[in-house]
Amino acid sequence: MTSATTVTDFAELAPLELAPYIQHTRIEAGLTRSDMEAHAKETIEYGFNAAMVPGSWVHVVADVLRGTGTELASALDFPTVGVTTSVGKAYEAEQLVKAGATQIDIGVQVGYLKSGMYDEFRADIAGVVNAAGVPIKVMLELPLLTEDEKRAAVELSMDAGAAYLKNASSGAIETANPASIRYLVDAARSGVKVKASGSIKSYPQAVELLNAGAVLLGTSAGVAIVTNNDDENVTSY
């Protein structure tokens, strides 16, 4: 895996140099073992930060990535966010790590937040953090929240031990944009990082998000971005 470098303006980097900031995502339905092995190999080939894959395929992708230094990420309580029990979410996180995941993105209980159930919202995240023992990224679904709820979600997530704040789970909720990323960067405590997610399809868009303060980009259009192939037909998560 190519190491990310410290830069002040990501527009100074060539498209391929953005690869260390991209978590290469493939999560659609109907994936086969061959699909997942090819995805893992592609992640290595382009020097992406991580392969982001469904939990059911973590063990297969882990075998391909072993010894490469490439991160292996998965997501839970996703794509329908907030439907898994807290106990179930924590258990699944533990099992994903045993299978080889080194990072986990999780859906948060937006309904708890909107119900004023702040202790339950925080405990849901903390349970995963404690069970997994790897960096946890929380998918905050910012467009669904009021300003007060946004502030509460960020603070409660950090209190629970989240390592990363994400603007959204996918493009179905929000197209990643600099305003949302700057909001999270400004709200983040020291040591808490920001990942952008949601219909990230092009090199210029990736540059804007990184310049806004994101340190990771989650996208299924990673190859299009690093080859600067702006294809509007690319599906991006």
Query: Exactly one of 89, 105, 124, 137 is catalytic; which is it?
Result: 105
Query: Exactly one of 137, 150, 166, 193 is catalytic; which is it?
Result: 166
In sequence order, the 6+-apart residues with CB closer than 8 A to the CB of 202 are 221, 224, 225, 228, 230
Helix (H) or strand (E) holding 22: strand 22-25
Query: Exactly one of 89, 137, 193, 195 is catalytic; which is it?
Result: 195
Helix (H) or strand (E) holding 156: helix 147-159
The neighbour count for residue 128, using CB atoms within 10 Å, is 27
Is 105 part of the annotated catalytic residue set? yes
The neighbour count for residue 215, using CB atoms within 10 Å, is 14
126, 88 in Cβ contact below 8 A?
A: no
Annotated catalytic sites, by residue? Answer: 105, 166, 195
